[in-house]
């Protein structure tokens, strides 16, 4: 765009052939038809050579989408004239639904319109809520008027679990607005960015579902105490957490507060000791300490989520235990998550 502004006659034809030009041209035409004077397109309205401008844009992007008059979704891989509900439609298979950055584009705007690759209007988001829920596993209520803060941390993380970004850091940066946090961008830090994101979230919430994740390293030999900590390694660790909600009905005697310190996570939570019997070792009994999280499955009012504390060296053969208070628990472990 800068090239076009500086020398329009020389660069106009060449730029018109570039990938992405049709997106910008179609957006301008559609906005003009709707009487809009200004547009903002992520691919050309951020000076990526400026780290400060990039940081400001990424930290503000969710709010820009939310405060906009209307947002257009241009689907360059979706054809015209198809039934969007068909299981094999190009709409359902669009790459737009798999990218990390487009999650906030889907959730933030008040008015969201979908267009095909020829800029043919497809539908509004509110009309497609049920289809989009099937594609993304995001409850339709959050595609409408329901506030994102009504979803648990684990639920919101699960919406990003199967999405991808080109750079590892962006797996965290694309979620800043989803959790209403701000933090500086440090490209080059890799997966540490997601660690920092969780630390920022913990600093402003008491939602313990942030600890209700499962490791995707399935082999016991792949796991050790250095690798498995209190925080997840990536959004994909929350893949099975779309139905984990805070447990409002269960109120412990003491507030279960938690905070991150220089030495690690400091947390107050009820503990229970579980005896583990090994069938191949008749007289061998091991003890496993479990911490009770104040969250549960959305359709299960009888069970709480519990996480093992200490070295993750014991495999569990059953899914439920009973405490002295007859409280049933679901056990969440790297080996037997549900």
Question: Which tens digit of pLDDT belongs to each residue from 196-226?
Answer: 999 999 999 989 999 999 876 644 434 444 4
Name the nearest CA neighbour of 95 among 140, 135, 147, 50: 135
Domain end residue (candidates: 222, 239, 256): 239
Structural domain for 73, as ranges: 2-146
Element (DSSP H or E) covering residue 26:
helix 21-33
- The token pair at 17 is 């052939």
What is the arithmetic mean of pLDDT over 53-63? 96
Domain match, 23 and 154 both: no
What is the arithmetic mean of pLDDT over 140-150? 94
Number of domains in the chain: 2
Domain match, 79 and 208 both: no
Domain match, 52 and 68 both: yes
DSSP H helices in 168-243: 170-173, 192-202
| Coil/strand/helix, residue 270 | coil
Asked whether residue 338 is domain-assigned, the answer is: no
Predicted pLDDT of residue 225: 40
First to last CA, the chain: 51
| Coil/strand/helix, residue 142 | helix
Domain match, 55 and 139 both: yes
Average pLDDT along the chain: 83
In Å, the largest CA–CA distance within the chain is: 86
Domain end residue (candidates: 217, 239, 261): 239
Asked whether residue 67 is domain-assigned, the answer is: yes
Does residue 154 contact residue 212 with C-beta atoms inside 8 Å?
yes
Is the pLDDT reported for residue 230 higher than 90?
no
Domain match, 85 and 179 both: no
- The dihedral built from the CA positions of residue 289, 294, 298 and 300, taken in this order, carries a sign that is positive
| Coil/strand/helix, residue 284 | strand
């Amino acid at each position: 765009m800068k090239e076009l502004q500086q020398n329009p006659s020389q660069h106009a034809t060449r730029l018109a052939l570039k990938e992405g030009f049709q997106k910008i041209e179609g957006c301008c035409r559609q906005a003009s038809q709707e009487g809009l004077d200004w547009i903002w397109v992520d691919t050309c309205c951020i000076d990526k050579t400026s780290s400060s401008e990039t940081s400001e844009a990424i930290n503000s992007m969710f709010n820009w989408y939310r405060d906009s008059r209307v947002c257009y979704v241009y689907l360059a891989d979706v054809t015209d004239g198809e039934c969007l509900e068909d299981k094999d439609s190009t709409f359902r298979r669009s790459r737009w639904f798999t990218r990390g950055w487009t999650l906030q584009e889907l959730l933030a705007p008040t008015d969201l319109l979908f267009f095909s690759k020829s800029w043919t209007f497809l539908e509004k988001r509110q009309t497609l809520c049920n289809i989009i829920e099937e594609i993304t596993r995001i409850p339709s209520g959050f595609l409408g008027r329901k506030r994102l803060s009504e979803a648990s941390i684990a639920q919101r993380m699960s919406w990003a679990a199967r999405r991808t970004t080109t750079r590892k850091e962006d797996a965290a940066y694309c979620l800043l607005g989803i959790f209403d946090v701000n933090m500086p961008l440090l490209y080059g830090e890799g997966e540490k960015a997601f660690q920092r994101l969780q630390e920022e979230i913990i600093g402003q919430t008491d939602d313990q579902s942030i600890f209700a994740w499962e490791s995707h390293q399935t082999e016991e030999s792949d796991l050790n105490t250095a690798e498995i900590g209190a925080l997840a390694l990536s959004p994909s660790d929350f893949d099975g957490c779309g139905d984990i909600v805070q447990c409002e009905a269960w109120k412990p005697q003491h507030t279960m507060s938690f905070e991150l310190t220089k030495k690690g996570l400091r947390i107050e939570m009820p503990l229970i000791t579980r005896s583990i019997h090994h069938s191949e070792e008749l007289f061998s009994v091991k003890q496993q300490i479990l911490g009770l999280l104040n969250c549960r499955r959305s359709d299960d009012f009888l069970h709480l989520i519990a996480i093992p504390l200490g070295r993750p060296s014991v495999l569990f053969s059953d899914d439920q235990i009973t405490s002295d208070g007859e409280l049933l628990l679901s056990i969440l472990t790297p080996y037997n998550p549900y």
